[in-house]
Structure 1
């Protein structure tokens, strides 16, 4: 990413596990579904799905638990639980809101890029405000495909190569890297491997926009 500016053209944020700690909500719902169907559901099953397109995850769940629910039914069940919980309370990940406010003050456009559906993300969008929002029900190909991040950059009128994406999962990081973004990976529920055009940090707490810019190589010719 070559730019004389210390800031990217835009910042693209994942939601689940990056902005808000929703992973326990999804996992609790998966365990409930398995229990209702008399099936075994493991931690490995849950971690395998972190960051995935919801229908892809639901098809995996159906294979594991059986029963008469369609993948769409499974998405509705899980998504409804998470949406209700988010309307009641948002548990922000450390440092995320502070960075959003700093980028906003600097005039850097920001987008939400999440595989959660629009009705699930609505409380977060209402609380934080974004110049663009891409949700799992607004794309044809979900993460790890690059489409979500390419669409977000297009909506903001910038090139994905000029954006920083902030992600917590290997699936999301792969999506953003495939689109051409520099990725700041903040692993939460699952590990994210090192890769080109990617910096892995333990937390956003205490980091500033300048810190992220330096990690992405901005402000240097």
Structure 2
């Protein structure tokens, strides 16, 4: 048997054995286009993005040392070359996102694997749809993190993103006002100075286990080993 073929077999075997599984499930009534970012030097999952039909599930193998984030895009239209646009969560008009081109507001899942998995649901860059990460198996503090509330109708008027008269996303206060108080920058870049605001309180009430601003402290601590993960949109 050719050496190159044996090499391919070994790569496939070890990547399958030494991998975590993300099961992405679109529980929404409309299509969702998952997007992916990877940390520097880490492989890009799912070719950067794809379409997920209502009710559809897609399994993705994740290398054991992967770290990055994923989110859902809505109202997307792409041509055969993968060029187009999304109403929310767009990433530079590309079906296949790169590592630096997402456009908030969007609900994010942040994920980091070392010897232990750490993950969270973040509204620091705003909100566009419900999103959950639910561990399956594993040991340690394997807790689900969720933002299952529809935050768009509750979004403060100054933070609303509208499309054809409908609220389709909710910006963060940092995105709208850009001040150190809301962005937790400069003299506010520490937990003593950067405190919740009336805007982050709206996010927190809707999704208690998600990060609502940079120095938020969600009540659920996640530190999980050896699990696979269900990631559910809506």
TM-score by length of 2: 0.25
Q: Specify which structure has the bigger relative contact order, considering alpha-carbon pairs within 8 angstroms and separated by 6 or more residues.
A: 1
TM-score by length of 1: 0.26
Higher fraction of helix: 1
